[in-house]
Structure 1
Amino acid sequence: MYSMRVHESTISKFLPIVCKSIIEKLRPIYLKTPNTKEQWKATADKFNELWNFPNCLGALDGRHITFRAPISDGSFYYNYKGSNSIVLLALVNANYMFTYVNIGVNGRISDGGVFSRSNLCNGMKSNLLNFPETVELPGTTEKVPYVIVGDDAFPLLTNLMKPYPERDLTHDCRIFNYRLSRARRIVENAFGILANRFRVLLNPINLNVEKVELITLTCIIIHNFLATENVRYTDINEPLEQLARLSRQGGNRSSPAARNVRDTYKQYFNSPQGIVDWQENSIRMFNH
């Protein structure tokens, strides 16, 4: 209000109109989930090229968008961090662009809980997303499904990979966790880019939840617009500290088939076909 010399009552009227117009015009172009096998394969090829994780369809994570909830809402939006928030669940491609978002679930729900209620989860379990068929890992005859990578908050599924639990990790499991973390951090980086570009997301937003959802979605669409039309975000710096942030495995139960898929990726990342030059040094530096 003070920087633009426009009264807040006026801003509150035209800001939702502008946001809705941006969403209506740009969302169909700049916030699209792949819906063909060819589009998913192109996403996976880019992940393998940039982040050395084959057959990866995206990185999945959740972020809390904090706001000042009205007293009438009580503790409905109160999260474990001691603030009121809604959850932004997002799937991000190798170039830090959002390909799927779910915004608005109250902050009391965990990332895994938000995922389990989402259209993304239903589509994955019902095979409605047109994922490509299982394919051989590069240089091998071992077939595995295309997968999304996430952290310990999510369930281990045949097409959703998470780290091995920290307790009594073997060398090969550490290598897998490192390689998965390197691919998964892309979604965390995307959240960081989004919040620092649109700094309204860094602090609690003093608006009702409907407007918070509207502003968050608008910021994501403009982020994708800029990434497509203006700036290509690429960061090949190696984040060795990512291993230290791997949290302990939660209580999500996994099927034997899902565990077999994870074991296959683990074996591949430790094989001559799947190894990368720096992974041993990265594990050694972390252990020291």
Structure 2
Amino acid sequence: MSDEGRLSKSANAFNIGLCTVSTIVRLMEEVENFYSRYEAPQCIGAIDGNLIDIRAPTINSTDYINRKSQCSLNVQACFGFKYCFLNVVIKWPGNPAYPLLPHLMKEYVNGGSLPQAQYFWYQICSARNVIECSFGRLKARFGVLKCTMDMHIQQFLYVIYAYFALHNYCEQNHESICEDNV
């Protein structure tokens, strides 16, 4: 489906925009690549949250207090197999624990008792480890994210989204990270 003619025919057949078809094709490629690397079926990526410390806002500052009693924003991200972030959501307050849902896989508590459950747990943990490494790579690349950021919340949102976009650009262009920062 990489040629323009097939994409146009698919778009017309299902009455959807051409850009939607190419997005679906790219998403299916992500699913296949994620499966080939982590053996997680029908999975597009790993999801996790990360806290970025901020200066306490003057209004509703208690809303920003995290479980470590620091002011922060919870950054939730979905990560694909190429160390690139597929989706980023910055909100407050955030809950670090995710429930098991039909569209959200979660590792078994204590690894499970059956060998199949233990294998599944291992694969899910391996895939999830990738996003933790990605957040580490992001913070190594942009060390300011390890410090308390002193700016207005609206500015903060734009700056953080820019860091994620720049990180993806660097990863896609194989820009190295100083090993001392990782």
TM-score by length of 1: 0.50
Deviations 1:155-198 (A, max 9, x none): 22222111122286333322211111111111111111001100
CA distance in 2, matches of 1:57, 1:191: 17
2:49 matched to which residue of 1? 62
Q: Which amino acid aligns with 1:40?
A: L
CA distance in 2, matches of 1:100, 1:36: 14
CA distance in 2, matches of 1:161, 1:39: 21
Deviations 1:125-177 (A, max 9, x none): xxxxxxxxxxxxxxxxxxxxxxxxxxxx2222222111122286333322211
User: Where in structure 2 are the equivalents of 1:129-168 lying within 5 Å?
Assistant: 153-166=97-110
Following TM superposition, by how much is the alpha carbon of 1:99 offset from its aligned partner in structure 2, in angstroms? Answer: 0.9
Inter-CA distance 168–230: structure 2 relative to 1 (3 Å threshold): closer
User: In 2, are the aligned partners of 1:95 and 1:232 still within 8 Å (CA)?
Assistant: no
The one of 110, 131, 137 equivalent to 1:187 is 131
Unaligned runs of 5+ in 2: 1-19, 178-182
User: Where in structure 2 are the equivalents of 1:181-220 lying within 5 Å?
Assistant: 181-220=125-164
2:174 matches 1:230: yes
TM-score by length of 2: 0.77
2:17 matches 1:73: no
2:7 matched to which residue of 1? none
1:140 matched to which residue of 2? none
CA distance in 2, matches of 1:34, 1:101: 22
Following TM superposition, by how much is the alpha carbon of 1:59 offset from its aligned partner in structure 2, in angstroms? Answer: 0.6
User: In 2, are the aligned partners of 1:63 and 1:191 still within 8 Å (CA)?
Assistant: yes
CA distance in 2, matches of 1:227, 1:163: 28
The one of 88, 92, 115 equivalent to 2:79 is 92
CA distance in 1, matches of 2:133, 2:142: 14
CA distance in 2, matches of 1:215, 1:159: 30
Stretch deviating more after TM superposition (153-162 or 188-197)? 153-162
Q: Which amino acid aligns with 2:72?
A: S
Find the structure with the greater CA-based Rg: 1
1:43 matched to which residue of 2? 30
Inter-CA distance 35–65: structure 2 relative to 1 (3 Å threshold): farther
| Aligned-pair identity (%) | 28
Higher relative contact order (CA 8 A, sep 6+): 1
Q: Which amino acid aligns with 1:212?
A: F
CA distance in 1, matches of 2:111, 2:44: 28
User: In 2, are the aligned partners of 1:40 and 1:57 still within 8 Å (CA)?
Assistant: yes
RMSD (Å) for aligned C-alpha atoms? 2.4
Unaligned runs of 5+ in 1: 1-32, 112-152, 234-288
Inter-CA distance 214–175: structure 2 relative to 1 (3 Å threshold): same
Q: Which amino acid aligns with 2:125?
A: S
User: In 2, are the aligned partners of 1:63 and 1:89 still within 8 Å (CA)?
Assistant: yes
CA distance in 1, matches of 2:35, 2:59: 48
Inter-CA distance 34–70: structure 2 relative to 1 (3 Å threshold): farther
